[in-house]
Amino acid sequence: MTVLAAALAGYVLGSIPTANATAGLFGIDLRAGGSKNPGANNALRLGGYGLAASVLSLEVAKGAVAVALGGLIGGQDGMVAAGVGAAAGNVFNVWYGFRGGKGLGIVLGVLLVAWPVAILPSMVAIAALAVITRSSGMAALGALTMLLALGFLWEPLNWPVAWGVSAVSQLPWLAAGVVAIVAPKHFKDALNPPVLHP
């Protein structure tokens, strides 16, 4: 029950519509313009760096708070459940008819608390592929693939975990959970190469 409660708490936090609310302060409706996606990339397209940074910061904060709360509710299992739940809340947002953002910002927040050592290699992957392919979809899929690989390799290779989910046997569940939820949102971008902004 504690794992279910943690997952539900993560979902609720992840689904808070902070992106469009923040854009609304700038007189912008993210769901009406650009890609119509309530996320940082569309915020950059429609409102510039300031709005994009604000949207991304709030998404990261939601993911981080969700994992911290999950840990309080259910320990290591709760952290994983809340992290996956937060990603689900962002992507399948109840306030938007279960159609929400693309999830990368909230996954960054989840990793920040649950598995921070996975952030650097994932960021390297996304940056390298962004430069090589000029496709945000391909870059995102590359980073998610890297995260998934790390999840399954971490324990067999006996790599250390500084903080977060110290039970490394949980990392494949965390990686597989968030990737399964977030990756499909980026296949469309990968198949229809978008222009990176700016």
Alpha-carbon 170 to chain mean position: 18
Distance from first CA to last CA of the chain, Å, rounded?
46
**Of how many residues is the chain composed?**
198
Instruction: Identify the band that residue 193 occupies on the pLDDT scale cut at 50, 70 and 90.
Output: low
- Per-domain residue ranges of the chain: 2-191
How confident is the model over 9-62, as pLDDT tens digits?
A: 999 999 999 998 998 888 889 888 887 888 888 888 888 899 999 999 999 999
Tokens of 10: 């993560």
Q: Using CA atoms, how far apart are residues 37 and 111, in angstroms rounded to an integer?
A: 22
Dump the DSSP string for 111-161.
Answer: HHHH-GGGHHHHHHHHHHHHHHH--HHHHHHHHHHHHHHHHHHTTTTT---
Mean pLDDT score across all residues of the chain:
89
Tokens of 122: 């994932």
Q: Using CA atoms, how far apart are residues 87 and 117, in angstroms rounded to an integer?
A: 19
Classify residue 196 by its DSSP letter.
P
% residues pLDDT > 90 (the chain):
60
Q: Residue 166's pLDDT is what?
A: 80
Nearest CA among 168, 182, 184 for reference residue 79: 168
Q: Using CA atoms, how far apart are residues 106 and 90, in angstroms rounded to an integer?
A: 7
Q: Is the pLDDT of residue 196 over 70?
A: no
Q: Which amino acid is at 49?
A: Y
Q: How many CB atoms lie within 10 A of CB 195?
A: 9
* Residues in Cβ contact with 141 at an 8 Å cutoff, skipping those fewer than 6 apart: 183, 186, 187, 190
Nearest CA among 69, 28, 70 for reference residue 50: 28
More confident residue, 191 or 158: 158
